[in-house]
């Protein structure tokens, strides 16, 4: 028994201590470090012997929780090793310190480190307050220059301060309030995915800005016929016209002109369908296997339908790549870990991928500007600011279409990217675009 106890304490101790369901994390929360916004605003702290979350539902899924009974989630889980005091690491000296503390009442160890995030409170408030007007929605705001995540919103949400009494009902709630829709929600991207299709087609030389397309309102591929929304017809348009008026017929033809091999080459170059290197776990996009694709499926993927499923985070990264001149930034949520007043880890700008040329990105940016100036995205216009965006109305088999809008501003020197999805809300222009506009308005005042 003595040998077994020594094995568990000394050899297995660190692994057991690291488990998210280890209740000692919560039992020692009195010395757990804080989670802070970019300006030092407290997002999570321990006070009066309890873990407190001042932002409540606004950041519940992102900040997460720490519970004796239910373990940890979100940043509380991903940065548990930093936040947790040293006496939960499982080493012998830490256990001796714990015994000393029990007998003397004096803390023998320092508290856990503080985790400083990139969240900007004003932007977070603007995002969440507008998403919360709808039953189910998610959104991401980031700085395309660095990849810093300025806000993450998901509704419905929950109050992490009341987790102990509400967890079981949250777990069985059919609306899935524990799900972080901003990074884990998977949706057909609809016409926002035309950002990808246009980029890949231009970059591969499959089309040019002067290419013309004819949309009579339908397009037949074998025994399958696709249509525009509400059976609209955009007639003859160049690429900018097809993009700004969001012609499904034209983009189905563009995808077929590229061919499956080229289409999937750019899927791979962009990292779509691969896990995003992010500081908290996020869902992976769903892309059908290349060898399963038939012409009708490829045409649908060209305008973001078929079997494609994307997260708002991924769509924000697509827009950020255009805003950033073809360089896809690596997103990050934690800027710094501070231990006993001194930085012990810092994170900053880096590149995730470089899927398209600067010329391609510049041309797609022009088309995204046209969307907001005189296309389907006019509700996203901001006085005195050039906004570049793309609407999406994504049909799905479980109800009304999802409303999407992806944008960045100011287009001449982008500082803010916004991606919004509102479930079962209809046209992207009518629901998601106005939300993005107001979030942009706040973010541009908050970010230098």
Q: Are residues 97 and 156 in the same domain?
A: no
State pTM to two decimals: 0.89
The pLDDT assigned to 12 comes to 61
For residue 187, the model assigns a pLDDT of 97
Q: What is the pLDDT of residue 90?
A: 47
Asked whether residue 84 falls in the same domain as residue 136, the answer is no
Residue 294 has a pLDDT of 95
Residues 331 and 410 in one domain: yes
User: pLDDT value at position 61?
Assistant: 98
Q: Do residue 57 and residue 129 come from a single domain?
A: no
- Give the bridge partners for 84, in sequence order: none
SS (HEC) of 54-121: CCHHHHHHHHCCEECCCEECHHHHHCHHHHCCHHHCCCHHHHHHHHHHHHHCCCCCCCCCEEEECCCH
Amino acid 224: pLDDT: 81
Shared domain check, 280 and 138: yes
Whichever domain contains 108, its CATH number is 3.90.1310.10
* Structural tokens at position 299: 């045409």
% the chain with pLDDT above 90: 77
Q: Which domain holds residue 429?
A: 123-446
Of the residues 94, 115, 136, the one at which a domain ends: 115
Supply the pLDDT for residue 342.
83
- CATH no. for residue 441? 3.40.710.10
Q: What is the rounded CA–CA span in Å between residue 221 and residue 219?
A: 7
Residues of the chain under the 70 pLDDT cut: 1-29, 87-109, 230
- Regarding whether 346 and 242 lie in a shared domain, the answer is yes
| Of the residues 115, 137, 153, the one at which a domain ends | 115
């Amino acid at each position: 028994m003595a040998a077994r106890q020594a094995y568990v304490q000394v050899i297995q101790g660190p692994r057991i201590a690291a488990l998210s369901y280890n209740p000692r994390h919560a039992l020692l929360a009195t010395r757990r470090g804080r989670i802070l916004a970019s300006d030092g605003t407290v997002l999570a702290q321990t006070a009066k012997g309890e873990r407190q979350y001042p932002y409540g539902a606004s950041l519940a899924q992102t900040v997460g929780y720490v519970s004796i009974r239910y373990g940890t989630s979100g940043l509380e889980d991903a940065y548990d090793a930093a936040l947790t005091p040293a006496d939960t690491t499982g080493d012998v000296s830490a256990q001796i310190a714990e015994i000393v503390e029990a007998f003397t009442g004096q803390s023998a160890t320092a508290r856990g480190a503080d985790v400083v995030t990139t969240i900007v409170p004003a932007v977070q408030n603007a995002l969440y307050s507008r998403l919360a007007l709808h039953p189910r929605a998610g959104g991401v705001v980031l700085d395309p220059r660095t990849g810093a995540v300025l806000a993450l919103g998901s509704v419905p949400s929950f109050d992490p301060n009341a987790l102990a009494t509400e967890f079981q009902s949250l777990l069985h709630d059919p609306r899935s309030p524990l799900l972080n829709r901003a990074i884990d929600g998977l949706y057909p991207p609809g016409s926002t995915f035309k950002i990808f299709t246009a980029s890949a087609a231009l970059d591969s030389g499959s089309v040019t800005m002067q290419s013309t397309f004819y949309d009579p309102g339908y397009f037949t591929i074998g025994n399958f016929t696709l249509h525009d929304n509400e059976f609209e017809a955009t007639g003859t348009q160049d690429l900018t016209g097809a993009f700004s008026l969001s012609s499904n017929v034209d983009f189905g033809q563009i995808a077929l002109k590229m061919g499956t091999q080229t289409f999937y080459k750019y899927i791979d170059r962009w990292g779509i369908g691969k896990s995003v290197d992010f500081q908290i776990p996020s869902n992976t996009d769903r892309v059908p296997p290349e060898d399963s694709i038939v012409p009708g499926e490829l045409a649908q993927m060209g305008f973001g339908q078929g079997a494609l499923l994307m997260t708002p985070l991924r769509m924000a990264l697509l827009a950020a790549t255009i805003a950033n001149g073809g360089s896809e930034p690596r997103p990050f949520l934690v800027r710094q870990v501070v231990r006993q007043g001194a930085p012990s880890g810092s994170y900053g700008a880096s590149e995730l991928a470089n899927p398209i040329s600067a010329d391609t990105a510049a041309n797609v940016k022009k088309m995204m500007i046209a969307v907001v100036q005189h296309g389907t995205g006019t509700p996203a216009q901001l006085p005195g600011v050039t906004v570049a965006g793309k609407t999406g109305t994504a049909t799905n088999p479980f109800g009304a279409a999802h409303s999407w809008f992806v944008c960045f501003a100011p287009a001449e020197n982008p500082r803010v990217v916004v991606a919004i999805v509102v479930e079962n809300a209809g046209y992207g222009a009518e629901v998601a675009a106005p939300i993005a506009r107001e979030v942009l308005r706040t973010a541009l005042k908050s970010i230098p």
